[in-house]
Amino acid sequence: MNLSKLPLSIVQVVRDVGPGGGINGVAYNLGIQFKRKGIEAQNLTLGKAKKESMGRSIFFSKIKLMKEVVQFTVFGTLRARRQFLKSSDQSVVLCHADVLYGDVYVNHGLHLAMLRRSENRFRIIVRNPFHLFLLLREWLRFYFNIHSVIVCFSDREKRELLEVYPKIKSEVVVIPNGIDLDVYRPGLPRIIVA
């Protein structure tokens, strides 16, 4: 895949998009930059019209998150494949995290590497068996080389990816996260907006 040619459009596949940190914030800011470059950008998200509330309990919020991750992994993958596999346009499908489909995968961390670094990996899995699902999904992504290009945020992350999954055939590139200088100004006091 030639990244030097600008595509006509980009589709970001991500559970949710919004300002702030994490994967949602990365997708949000990428969308802004695509628009500035004149690239049409769309988002394929879990897309709940009505936010459901399960209370403020950490337990219920974790259950809701697990449900959404599994839903978007399964149904997001099926929808993305159905929508873009037969598509003849020049869209590039950019995948963040959950979905097992897309031209480019933005790597937001490796679950297996995190567990390998942990002294209590067995305890982590016993306390939360959902890690097994995340490990399986990660293994499927890299074992079957689902994406043409994998983007890592640092050279260290790229080395770790290639150490943990040495049989990757996808092109692995490093593109560091950027900084919005309209928000963060070096040398100036940090302004906190309440």
- The overall pTM is greater than 0.85: no
For residue 96, what pLDDT is reported?
93
**162 occurs within a structural domain:** yes
Q: What is the pLDDT of residues 62-105, one digit of tens each?
A: 888 899 999 999 999 999 888 887 665 678 999 999 999 999 99
Q: Which domain holds residue 82?
A: 9-109+138-174
Q: How many domains does the chain have?
A: 1
Report CA-CA distances (Å) from 63 to 54, 76, 108, 109. 9, 19, 21, 21
Contacts of 108 (CB under 8 A, 6+ apart): 23, 26, 96, 97
**pLDDT value at 168 more than 90:** yes
Cβ contacts of 64 within 8 Å, gap of 6 or more: 52, 54
Could you give the C-alpha distances from 180 to 20, 25, 27, in angstroms and in order?
Answer: 12, 12, 14
Does the residue 128 lie in any domain? no
| Structural domain includes residue 31 | yes
State residue 49's pLDDT score. Answer: 28
Look at residue 124 and tell me if it is in a domain: no
Over residues 42-71, mean pLDDT: 73
**Residue 125 covered by a domain:** no
Task: Say which CATH number the domain at 78 has.
Answer: 3.40.50
- Give the pLDDT score at 59: 77
Whether 119 is in a domain gets the answer no
pLDDT at 14 over 50: yes
In a domain, 116, yes or no: no
In a domain, 39, yes or no: yes
The amino acid present at 4, given as its one-letter code, is: S
Question: Quick check: 48 pLDDT over 70?
Answer: no
